[in-house]
Structure 1
Amino acid sequence: MPVKTLLIVYHSLTDGTRQMAEAARAGAAAEGEVAVRLLHASQAGPDDVLAADGLIFATPENLAAISGQLKDFFDRSYYPVLDRVNGRPYASLICAGSDGHNAARQIERIATGWRLKAVAEPLIVCTHAQTPEAILTLKQIAPEELERCRALGESLAAGLALGVF
């Protein structure tokens, strides 16, 4: 039986989203029966999406939206994979300064177009960064939040390994 692959595509400017994506990767890798690929959004493209059995999209919320680099990934990948990834499971990780829900909705709309299947609610970590200085500073995500990300990665990988998704 071929090994299933989980692709995690992320962008991170102040390191918070990278920490969340790394935690999800670590959780997924603990499954053992799933190959996990962690790619920066600038390095990921349609072939990576097509080769994946499951997906996690991770982004900071920038100006109440997904990051420009994650948007660029979707722009480059959307039409080449349209109608070719229907039904594949996905989840999202959002590192937000105050809310995160609009970025989550943007990913949901794109995933709906790709006909992906959400297997978890968007995992939003709020850093409460509200000033220019706080927004631009390097983030340190709390261990309990990273554990939530790890658990999400582990659950998605386990579902892939068991054929649940």
Structure 2
Amino acid sequence: MSLQSRSPRLLIVWHSRTGAARQMAQAAADGAHAAADAMDEALDVHLLAADEVQADSLLEADAYLFCAPENLATLSGEMKAFFDRNYYAVLDAIAGRAYAVMIAAGTDGEGARRQVERIASGWRLRAAAPPFVYRNGAQTPEAILAPKTVAPDVLAQCGEIGGTLAAGLLL
């Protein structure tokens, strides 16, 4: 199916160890759907775990949201493996498409954010929203590894990012 004969497609690629990034990605998907509904437009939102994404999913999408935890000051291994697996397969084929990034972190998150931004720069993607880093404050091994519940106000911000990407595709 050609890009012209289908609804715009937003691909949300996520990885989560403790549930925070998964909740953030779902909130962004919900926000994208809500924006499309408010505009009375059709939008195809694909929410895929990083280990499920292949190059064809990237090529078929019109915009991207990358959502992952920061681990040891960098992206989680599964999210990095997604980029490693697909980087050269889509290089030069997705230039100019919109993207956004959301990072779940304990107290920092900047290393993972910068890493995604460097990769997106190499793909020549254009940022459609400011990067979002959610810091949950976890410091001890127990708190870091514990399942997370993301606060409603943070999820609302994630929904706004999804809505921004949707609006950009539908306008």
For 1:151 and 1:131, locate their aligned partners in 2 and report how far apart those are by CA, in whole Å. 31
| Cα shift readout 1:105-132 (whole Å, capped 9, x = no counterpart) | 0000000000000111111110000000
- The residue number in structure 2 matching 1:73 is 82
- The residue number in structure 2 matching 1:154 is 163
| Cα shift readout 1:42-87 (whole Å, capped 9, x = no counterpart) | 0011110000000000000100001100100001100000000000
For 1:120 and 1:103, locate their aligned partners in 2 and report how far apart those are by CA, in whole Å. 16
Aligned with 1:112 (options 121, 144, 148) = 121
For 2:116 and 2:167, locate their aligned partners in 1 and report how far apart those are by CA, in whole Å. 23
> What amino acid does structure 2 have at the position aligned with 1:96?
A
- The residue number in structure 1 matching 2:28 is 24
RMSD between aligned alpha carbons? 0.8
Aligned with 1:95 (options 101, 104, 123) = 104
> What amino acid does structure 2 have at the position aligned with 1:87?
G
TM superposition shift of 1:159? 0.8
- The residue number in structure 1 matching 2:9 is 5
TM superposition shift of 1:19? 0.3
- The residue number in structure 2 matching 1:83 is 92
For 1:28 and 1:61, locate their aligned partners in 2 and report how far apart those are by CA, in whole Å. 24
- When structure 1 is superposed on structure 2, of 78-87 and 32-41 the one drifting more is 32-41
TM superposition shift of 1:29? 1.2
- The residue number in structure 2 matching 1:51 is 60
Q: Work out whether residues 128 and 164 of structure 2, in 8 Å CA contact, stay in contact via their aligned partners in 1.
A: no
> What amino acid does structure 2 have at the position aligned with 1:44?
V
TM-score w.r.t. the length of structure 2 is 0.93
> What amino acid does structure 2 have at the position aligned with 1:136?
L
Give identity over the alignment, percent. Answer: 52
For 2:74 and 2:164, locate their aligned partners in 1 and report how far apart those are by CA, in whole Å. 26
1:42 partner SS: helix
Tell me, which stretches of 5 or more residues in structure 2 are unaligned?
none
- The residue number in structure 2 matching 1:134 is 143
Answer 1 or 2: which has greater helix percent: 2
